[in-house]
């Protein structure tokens, strides 16, 4: 199904919990309102089953830290039959024990947050002395065949945006056949400290240009039209993907993602909670699946690009989302100039 801007919704990013065992300064917590409520494994399965009916074929599990869920393996096993790919974003601290069981349950691949390979910098950015455990978790994921592993590296001024730091991460990625995903720090309202953002935000332009200059092969991820560069370093190939969402209309127009908050609400954009569609009244065993499918349709209809530009098409009316079970009376998301 497509939204009013012609964007097909194919990906669902599911926050399983807001609990985490790190305290990363760059964490945006998926932009969701604060809550301790969490959906059960059976409810999550029901959501994914309904999502498949509107074209969702990829699911990414995230948090907080999803591996803190004691039923994480069960969740993967339950949802795997409904989609073509199940992946997970994690800090890797528990992957040394869980990578194998997760792979057996049907997890295809992982993104692992690794802000630095300098132990002191890692501790400063995450609040925990956990770099060695993260590295061991990444190695365990490689042994379990969770590929391709993507190392999520948020570019931060004075640390991970520097070429020397990135080169160390590239060498580590090469040793495992992993990719490096350079991510621009996002200023998500209500979740990221504005002063931290002002002090640490770093433009990705220079690093992206360097990767493009060295690349012998360039392609684009279908999700967000993110450029992916493969180049040679020390005689071996390495792949770098650049995630540059800030004030980037092209990024928004190639967004195919819906998000499910940890307390059961669908949202169309990381950057705003306007137009949330509450699925909780529809997750009981006696609720018709058709009503849940309809709630997905409403959420897709409410999606708007957060950043717009000259190439952003005018919206096309779809259908009325009024008076739908599970769809609260929230204002339609206004397009940001």
Contact call for residues 278 and 327 (beta carbons, < 8 A) = yes
**Tokens representing 33?**
């309102």
Please state the φ and ψ torsions of residue 70, each to the nearest 5 degrees: -70, -20
| pTM of the entire predicted model | 0.90
3-state secondary structure of 102: helix
Q: Which of 40, 34, 42, 52 is nearest to 16 (CA)?
A: 40
Percent of the chain scoring above 70 in pLDDT: 93
Domain extents in the chain: 11-253
Q: How is residue 160 written in tokens?
A: 């991970």
* Angle, alpha carbons 130-134-140 (nearest 5°): 145
The CATH superfamily holding the domain 11-253 is: Aldolase class I (3.20.20.70)
- Top-confidence residue, 136 or 237: 136
Range with the lowest mean pLDDT among 192-196, 229-233, 295-299, 303-307? Answer: 229-233
| Residues near 5 by beta carbon (within 8 Å), at least 6 away in sequence | 253, 303, 304, 305, 312, 313, 315, 316
Q: How many C-beta atoms lie closer than 10 Å to residue 65's C-beta?
A: 22
Average pLDDT over residues 194-205: 84
What confidence score (pLDDT) does residue 58 get? Answer: 98
First to last CA, the chain: 26
Task: Give the Å distances, CA to CA, from 13 to 1, 9, 245, 299.
Answer: 16, 11, 17, 14
Residues 192 and 50: their CA atoms lie apart, in Å, by 32
Q: Where do runs of H (alpha helix) occur along 95-156?
A: 95-105, 119-126, 131-143
Tens digits of residue pLDDT in 65-119: 999 999 999 999 999 999 999 999 999 999 999 999 999 999 999 999 999 999 9
The pLDDT score that the predictor gives to residue 324 is 42
Strands (E), the chain: 11-15, 58-62, 85-90, 109-113, 150-155, 179-184, 215-221, 226-233, 236-243, 257-260, 265-267, 277-278
Q: Residue 161: what pLDDT?
A: 63
Report yes or no: 15 and 262 within 8 Å, Cβ to Cβ. yes
Distance CA 144, CA 295 (A): 37
287: phi then psi, degrees, rounded to nearest 5:
-75, 135
């Amino acid at each position: 199904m497509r939204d009013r801007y012609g964007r097909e919704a194919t990906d669902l990013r599911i926050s399983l919990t807001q609990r985490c065992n790190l305290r990363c300064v760059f964490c945006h917590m998926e932009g969701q309102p604060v809550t301790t409520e969490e959906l059960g494994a059976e409810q999550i399965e029901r959501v994914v089953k309904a999502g498949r009916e509107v074209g969702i074929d990829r699911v990414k599990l995230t948090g907080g830290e999803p591996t803190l869920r004691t039923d994480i393996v069960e969740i993967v096993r339950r949802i795997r039959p409904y989609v073509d790919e199940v992946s997970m974003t994690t800090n890797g601290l528990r992957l040394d024990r869980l990578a194998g069981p997760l792979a057996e349950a049907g997890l295809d691949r992982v993104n692992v947050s690794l802000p630095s390979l300098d132990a002191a910098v890692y501790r400063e950015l995450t609040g925990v002395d956990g770099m060695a455990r993260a590295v061991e978790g990444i190695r365990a994921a490689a042994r379990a065949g969770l590929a391709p592993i993507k190392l999520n590296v948020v570019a931060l001024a004075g640390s991970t945006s520097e070429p020397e730091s990135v080169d160390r991460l590239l060498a580590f990625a090469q040793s495992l056949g992993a990719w490096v995903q350079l991510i621009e720090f996002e200023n998500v309202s209500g979740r990221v400290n504005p002063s931290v953002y002002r002090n640490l935000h770093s433009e990705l332009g220079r690093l992206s240009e360097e990767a493009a200059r060295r690349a012998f092969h360039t392609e684009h991820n279908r999700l967000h039209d993110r450029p992916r560069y493969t180049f040679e370093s020390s005689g071996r190939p390495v792949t770098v993907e650049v995630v540059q969402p800030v004030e980037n209309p092209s990024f928004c127009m190639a967004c195919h993602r819906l998000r499910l908050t940890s307390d059961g609400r669908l949202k169309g954009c990381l950057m705003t909670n306007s137009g949330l569609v509450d699925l909780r009244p529809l997750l009981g065993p006696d609720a018709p699946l058709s009503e849940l499918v309809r709630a997905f349709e409403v959420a897709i209809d409410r999606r708007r690009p957060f950043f717009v530009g000259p190439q952003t098409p005018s919206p096309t009316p779809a259908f009325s989302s009024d008076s739908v079970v599970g769809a609260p009376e929230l204002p339609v998301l206004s397009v940001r100039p």
